[in-house]
Amino acid sequence: MGFLTEIDPENALNALEQVLNGDYFVEKRTQLKICHNKQLHTALNEVVLMTQKPAKMLHIEISVDDEVVEELRADGLIVATPSGSTAYSMSAGGPIVDPRVDAFIIVPICPFKLGARPFVVPNNSVIKVKFLRKGKKAVAVIDGQQVEEIDYMDEIIFKKADNYAYFVRLSKNFYKQVREKLQGDV
C-alpha cells in the first residue's frame, strides 16, 4: 500500500534512468522527536500508545503547549506526522494531511467518550501525554518498529525533530496518489 513508495518494481529501471538523468526532486518530510525517561527517539510516521495487555483501556491526559486538550479513557492514542496521516492514523479516523502542512495529528483509538475527536496541531507545539491509571502499563510503538514500555504517571513528550527525512521523488501528485491507493480493494 505504501504512500511513500511511488515506483512499482516493473518500473524500477525506468525510474532509475530518470534519476540518473536528473529528472527528480527531493522532498523534505517532518519527523517527530519523542522523549520518555530521558531517552530520545525519532519517528517519520507515528507513535502509537496502547495498553500492554489487550482488551484494556488507557487513562490519559493530553496537553498541547501546556494546555490540557483532553483527558480520556481509550484503547490507545496515535500521534502522527503528515507522512503518517495516511497510515494507522487514517484507519483510526484521523484526517489525511498533505505532507507540506506543518502539523501533527493526535488521534484517540476507540475512545470511551463521545466528544473525543482527532486534533490537528501546529508542528512547533509541544505535545505531552501523561498516563493516569495506577497499575496500568502501556507501550509506545514507534513507526511500528521500536517498542518502549510506559508506566503510571509517566509522561511522553512529542516535538518536531531537528532533522528531516528526505525522499527522491519523480512526481508531485500527492492527491492523485491518495486517490489511486485508496480506491478499490486492498
Q: Which three cell numbers stand for residue 170?
A: 519523480
Q: Which three cell numbers stand for residue 178?
A: 491518495
Strands 165-169 and 39-43, bridge-based pairing: unpaired
Q: Domain-by-domain residue ranges, the chain?
A: 1-24+170-186, 29-164
Confidence (pTM): 0.88
Q: Which residues pair with 166 in a beta bridge?
A: 28
The 3-state secondary structure of 41-108 reads EEECCEEEEEECCCCCCEEEEEEECCEEEEEEEEEEEEEECCHHHHCHHHHCCCCCCCCCCCEEEEEE
How far, in Å, CA of 170 to CA of 16, rounded?
10
pLDDT of residue 186: 47
Q: 2.60.200.30, 3.30.1280.10, 3.40.50.2300, 1.10.150.20: which CATH number matches 29-164?
A: 2.60.200.30
133 touches 152 (CB < 8 A): yes
The pLDDT profile of the chain, 186 residues, written as one tens digit per residue, is: 566 777 888 888 998 999 999 999 999 999 999 999 888 899 999 999 998 877 788 999 999 999 999 999 999 999 999 999 988 999 999 999 999 999 999 999 999 988 899 999 999 999 999 998 777 788 999 999 999 898 888 899 999 999 999 988 887 777 777 777 777 544
How far, in Å, CA of 46 to CA of 84, rounded?
5
